[in-house]
Amino acid sequence: MQPIAPITDDNPTVEEMEARIARFGALRPTGDYADARIPGCERTTYRVLGERPGAPLAAEEFHLNLVKCDTGKSAPLHNHLTQEVFIPLTGEWEVFWGPDGDRSLRIGPWDTVSIPPGLCRGFRNVGNSEAWLIGIAGGRDPGRINWPKPVLEAAKAAGVDLPVDPG
């Protein structure tokens, strides 16, 4: 059985809690997702919680990104060692999974899908306009991403160098 969190005397100041807010108007898009340069995978990502540069708030066991995609654009099939959750805020999205990404389902605003660790997954905006989605990845460092061979080949053909985990 897991221990329960003790009741403490912790009482951060307003200023300390203000430092734990990522104001949407202050967020800046990150441009370091190499796979977003693959044709058809263009998207804008705003890091909110994470370990990487560009996230205004530090990760404490999970990462959170806001993702904006035009119609038909996607995050290609990829794999994390951690669970990943997708929650559309607007639009209609297709979430696809499996070794070839041949299985899929559609989700809409405020639906939530949880992808288990180690399962190849991706998402695509299948709506009629630009749309927003929240992506949440578990762990302090879910960034060790792996891509199946077709994604690596598409990246190479587009002149995009995807980092590959040698592990």
- Structural domain including 70 reads 33-157
Considering the domain boundaries, does residue 92 fall inside one?
Answer: yes
Considering the domain boundaries, does residue 84 fall inside one?
Answer: yes
Take residue 89 and report the two structure tokens written for it: 């805020």
Model confidence band, residue 30 (pLDDT cutoffs 50, 70, 90): confident
Q: Could you write out the DSSP letters of every residue in 108-162?
A: -TT--EEEPTT--EEEEE-SSS-EEEEEEEESS-TT--B--HHHHHHHHHTT---
Q: What is the pLDDT of residues 69-90, one digit of tens each?
A: 999 999 999 998 889 999 999 9
User: How many domains is the chain built from?
Assistant: 1
Q: CATH number of the domain that 50 lies in? A: 2.60.120.10
Take residue 151 and report the two structure tokens written for it: 């994604």
| pTM for this entry | 0.85
Considering the domain boundaries, does residue 162 fall inside one?
Answer: no
Considering the domain boundaries, does residue 14 fall inside one?
Answer: no
Considering the domain boundaries, does residue 54 fall inside one?
Answer: yes
